[in-house]
Structure 1
Amino acid sequence: MMKFTPTLKYVACALLFAFASCSDDDSVIITPEGETPTIPDPVSLTPEVEVYDADKVHNNLTLAVNAGKNSAFLANKTGQKVHEFTFDEPLGNDLEILPNGKLLGIFKDPNAQIEFGGYGGIVKILNINGTVEWEYTLSNENFVLHHDVEMLPNGNVLLLVWERIPEAEAAAQGSANPGDIYPETLMEINTETNSVVWQWRSYDHIIQDDDPSLPNYGVVADNPHKVNVNYNPIANGDIMHANGLDYDENKDIIYLSINFFSEVWVIDHSTTTAEAATGTGGNYGKGGDLVYRFGNPRAYDNMMGEVRGDRNHYPNLLENGVQGEGNILLYVNGFAAGFSTVYELEMPATFSLTPNTDNEPNVVWFYSNPDIFSSKISGAERLKNGNTLICEGDFGFWEVTPDKELVWKYNGGEGSFFWRAYDYEVDDPIIAGFGL
């Protein structure tokens, strides 16, 4: 059972903040250094808000998703938690408010047998009053749901799954990994029948160049649509570690972030399940082979193109009329650099992967700051006014303008671990049911 706790004493502040002008002075900023603003800011800010520009910040609500915890909350830009959610099980990680006001989330199975970071096992749709409308569990010795979930336009739910391949079977197919491997699988579930209506397995599209006597042998550089199964051998077998997905309805494709490959893969969702197991069929003619990939050309032995995906999270397709619609926002955690970067990338009009060619997308915009570095989780959202909301997972939230001016900074405090932050307009009908 989920408990909803609206913080009613903050509602008046939230509405006042949303609809009233705070100041006529465009330089009113409160900074962490404690500088005195030119004109006193009439808005009451919580201690968590370190930077606040009344004229440039977007007056929306932020859904802060606590990774692996039993809670989430909606906060306004003054830092007030205007609504809080608590759950019986910890999140495992994703939680979203659907267009009908219900919640969709991944939760941790207390009896999970596969427990890599970000595991879940249970997906639920929750009503506004906290009751469970729908629940689906996939958690056993061979499969577990993890990280992210997406509600598709047809009402089905798209799930990210780790699938165990026993060591002997994997070795017979060319895997050099020392033990079982857990490659990525996508499953589309019909919520009325709980049946799998579409499936894609990365394991069906592997290549290896270690042993010519074994299946799947080939020149990796000559086969960019295939996945090098031996690119990232790892003792626990989590060789890919996908952590985020997004669906493009117009192109009928799925963007899938692969953290340990430092890439984003593009997968054709128009295929049948049978076609998805092959290299032919679908709108793009590649079956379940990768239609496109970006972030790390070295993952397919391509020496051309810049490596920009140094670990990454949340390939966020910009939609619904926001600035940059059709582009992808990507949070690059930045292991090598020691700081994180948010990129806005222009997707090509025609997907193409050519060996020994720079296949990387154009960078439209980026934001980096030496003070932003989260080695895990995190993401970015484009706001209605053109600003970008950045979730620095182990800190809190930053809002920057298109000109890269910092206009809001929220410090979640010691021990913060935010999966993502989603934005909702204060007058959005989908949150009306929460009493705001």
Structure 2
Amino acid sequence: MKALILKWFFIFSEKLGLFDLFEKYYFNTARTGRSKMGTLPVLDREKVDESYLLISPFNTGDYKELGGSIYLTDLYGVLLHKWKTKYQSSIAHLMKDRTVYVSQVLPNSNDTAHFPGGGRTGVIEKLNWEGKVLWEYRNPGIHHDFEVLPNGNLILVRWEEVTGALKKEVVSQVAGKDEHDPFWSDVIFEITPDGSVVWEWHAKDHLDPSIDSFGPFPYRVEWTHANAIRYLQKNPITGREAFLMSMRNTGRILIVEKESGKILWRSPEGMFLGQHDPTMLENGNVLAFDNALHRRPTSRSEVVSSRVIEIDPRTNNVAGMLEGGRTSSEKARLYSSIMCGAQRLKNGNTHITISSPGHLFEVTPEKELVWDCINPHVTHGVDLWPNNSIFTSWRYHKDDIDWPPNFPSPLPATPAYAQVAQQAIFDESYIEK
């Protein structure tokens, strides 16, 4: 009886236009309206990119066997699909056939204890739409990013210890660093679906300590700390297969040719500090999130902000930059010392992930804010405090994925309040309990 009364209430209210009136005033973008789903994010329906959102909240607390979740939502934050993972999820990639690859954080064990902790994962799984595990790869040394290649193989990152004379040379750059402590670099490697390694690139064999030196980081057990890897079918320098990778601790983004292993391009010294998530754009430019970690202000009045930078690797010219604004509060909204990402969308807008506070937003090329969201999905945090941080997030268009028949639109025409309420009461077919 209660559901029937609510059903007729919504039908009656929609016929009278009450939802439109409610949205006009209560959802006014000048207000700071919030709901249990987070912010009410669509600020400009005409300018926002019509695409779905994929997020996998990240647990920054202890690496315990807590399990995780991956959420697919529309632009109003309404949950359309959900996957559960055995371990805490980190980075997820949705594929054309609706399968999802997800890296997960293995619980602490003797196999993982000797590796550096930041970004550690240890397992990658492939799940079907229903959440069944179709494939798994385990390696306690893998960390941060991965990508599925066009041939079905995967490219991954794992730690590798640096020893001998090279270790001594690199460690000598660090005041107070004990040369007897373990010291790490990275290997970029490709595996087939059966786990066989078919290609490797050892950073320590190609980096130059005089060029690829430490950034201003106090925690220095890693030389490189590779936190992102992207496959390039044709790189903009030689036109051949290559990989785009981010070396956080040296403040460099690299383009490495696959066949020769040569470093074709290094981002200019000092441009990036603690950067994440470089991607290659269709115009051959590189888009990346510069965390600006430990960047020193140039004056006493300057407030340092993270930045989104687009750079042409053929000329090193900066083609575009988004900073946090002029005031301290504006700059703080864009700042995160760790993680984060930037994605160029099909309509030319840029989707940005500010990881630590779980803040996601979209801006036009003119830097107009058209979508603004706070991740409402929390995981286990530290002590009593919940945590809604995200390593990164992705947007997917209608033609990117073979969606199920009659799958809801990423930008529904129904007013937000009515749409949320109607789905909560009448339509739960796409939500996994």
Distance 2:170 2:398 in 1: 53
CA contact (8 A) 2:185 2:222 kept: yes
Query: What is the TM-score with the length of structure 1 in the denominator?
Result: 0.70
CA contact (8 A) 2:246 2:254 kept: yes
Structure 2 residue 346 is the aligned partner of structure 1 residue 379: no
The residue aligned with 1:322 is: none
> How many residues are matched?
341
Distance 1:197 1:66 in 2: 32
The residue aligned with 2:387 is: 415
| The one of 86, 89, 94 aligned to 2:87 | 89
Distance 2:393 2:55 in 1: 5
The residue aligned with 2:313 is: 347
| The one of 41, 44, 49 aligned to 1:58 | 49
Structure 2 residue 316 is the aligned partner of structure 1 residue 327: no
The residue aligned with 1:388 is: 350
The residue aligned with 2:431 is: none
Distance verdict in 2 for CA 1:31–1:45, change over 3 Å: farther
Distance 2:37 2:217 in 1: 46
Question: 1:246: how far off?
Answer: 1.0
Distance 2:217 2:320 in 1: 33
Distance 1:236 1:158 in 2: 26
**Greater relative contact order: 1 or 2 (C-alpha under 8 angstroms, separation 6 or more)?**
2
Distance verdict in 2 for CA 1:173–1:403, change over 3 Å: closer
The residue aligned with 1:185 is: 187
Distance 1:392 1:174 in 2: 32
Instruction: Return the letter of the residue paired with 2:152.
Output: G
The residue aligned with 1:397 is: 360
5+ long unaligned stretches in structure 1: 1-8, 10-21, 36-43, 209-219, 272-281, 283-287, 298-306, 320-324, 349-359
Instruction: Return the letter of the residue paired with 1:416.
Output: N
Structure 2 residue 264 is the aligned partner of structure 1 residue 291: yes
Instruction: Return the letter of the residue paired with 2:129.
Output: I
Distance 2:197 2:288 in 1: 29
Question: 1:190: how far off?
Answer: 1.1
| The one of 96, 103, 107 aligned to 1:106 | 103
CA contact (8 A) 1:59 1:76 kept: no
Structure 2 residue 243 is the aligned partner of structure 1 residue 254: yes
Distance 1:58 1:171 in 2: 47
Distance 2:391 2:217 in 1: 26
Instruction: Return the letter of the residue paired with 2:182.
Output: D
Distance 1:430 1:397 in 2: 25
CA contact (8 A) 2:42 2:75 kept: no
Question: 1:33: how far off?
Answer: 3.4
The residue aligned with 2:136 is: 135
1:347-387 superposed Cα distances (whole Å, 9 cap, x missing partner):
31xxxxxxxxxxx6211122122221111111011111111
Deviates further, 375-384 or 93-102: 93-102
Question: 1:154: how far off?
Answer: 1.8
Distance verdict in 2 for CA 1:427–1:152, change over 3 Å: closer
| The one of 241, 247, 266 aligned to 2:255 | 266
Instruction: Return the letter of the residue paired with 1:58.
Output: D
Query: What is the TM-score with the length of structure 2 in the denominator?
Result: 0.71
Distance 2:338 2:215 in 1: 21
Instruction: Return the letter of the residue paired with 1:180.
Output: P
Report the 3-state secondary structure (helix = DSSP H, G, I; strand = E; otherwise coil) of the residue aligned with 2:184: coil
1:276-322 superposed Cα distances (whole Å, 9 cap, x missing partner):
xxxxxx2xxxxx3422100x42xxxxxxxxx3212210011124xxx
Question: 1:390: how far off?
Answer: 0.6
5+ long unaligned stretches in structure 2: 1-6, 8-19, 60-66, 236-240, 296-302, 325-330, 377-385, 409-433
